Amino acid sequence: MTLRSRTFWIIVPVAAVLFLDRLTKNLAIEQLAGQPPREYAGGLLRLLYDENPGVFLGLGSSIPEASRFWLFTVAVGVMLAGLVASLLFRKTVTRGEVAAFAMIIGGGTGNLIDRIQYDGVVIDFLNIGVGSVRTGVFNVADAAVIAGVLLYVVTQWLGERGPSRAAGSPPAEPGGS
């Protein structure tokens, strides 16, 4: 991929994730804050407002505030900048890696914006499940990060074990047959 092509395929998904994340979080603040949870599809989907000072499933929420700032704001910001630099300046990068890391960058940036804007917390509002078997409360940015990680794992697995490769043969060059 050329640098121009890479840049385009980084910007588009990052912008899409950020747009959807900001839009849905603003709606959650306006419509859900201070309200009881709302259930849809027989309770499969719950919308409820939550301010999460931790990370995934509230992990780290009991860490002192100054440490959370350094870990969840500064370190995450540095990591996201490193991912962008890696995508832009590595000699070889696959389309799958670009797509996966762009989703992670978009989601990570969405939650980073929350931490900066809302004094160290992230706005969460989605919960999926049946009865007592439910996910934690999450948001669009979280979903993008998880989707990006899963896409990365799948593309790496297919790159190693893809059906178009004979056992023991090297991976095909991008654009090759």
Q: What is the DSSP string of 73-95?
A: IIIHHHHHHHHHHHHHH-S---H
Across all residues in the chain, what is the average pLDDT? Answer: 90
Write out the two tokens for 105.
Answer: 């960058």
Quote the CA–CA distance of 29 and 80 in Å, as a whole number.
Answer: 26
Mean pLDDT value of segment 151-175: 64
| Beta carbons of 6 and 98 less than 8 angstroms apart | yes
Which of the four pLDDT bands, split at 50, 70 and 90, describes residue 137? very high
- Predicted local confidence at residue 91, as pLDDT: 87
Write out the two tokens for 85.
Answer: 């630099």
Write out the two tokens for 89.
Answer: 């300046």
Does residue 2 have a pLDDT over 90? no
Active site residue 124: yes
| Beta carbons of 60 and 68 less than 8 angstroms apart | yes
Does residue 16 have a pLDDT over 80? yes
> Residue 83 phi/psi, 5° resolution?
-65, -45
Paired with 134 in beta bridges are 129
Write out the two tokens for 158.
Answer: 């297919």
Indicate the pTM of the whole model: 0.86
Active site residue 142: yes
Least confident of 59-68, 113-122, 152-161: 152-161
Mean pLDDT value of segment 136-142: 96
Please report, for the chain, the start and end positions of each structural domain, with discontinuous segments joined by +. 3-161
- Predicted local confidence at residue 124, as pLDDT: 97
Which of the four pLDDT bands, split at 50, 70 and 90, describes residue 92? confident
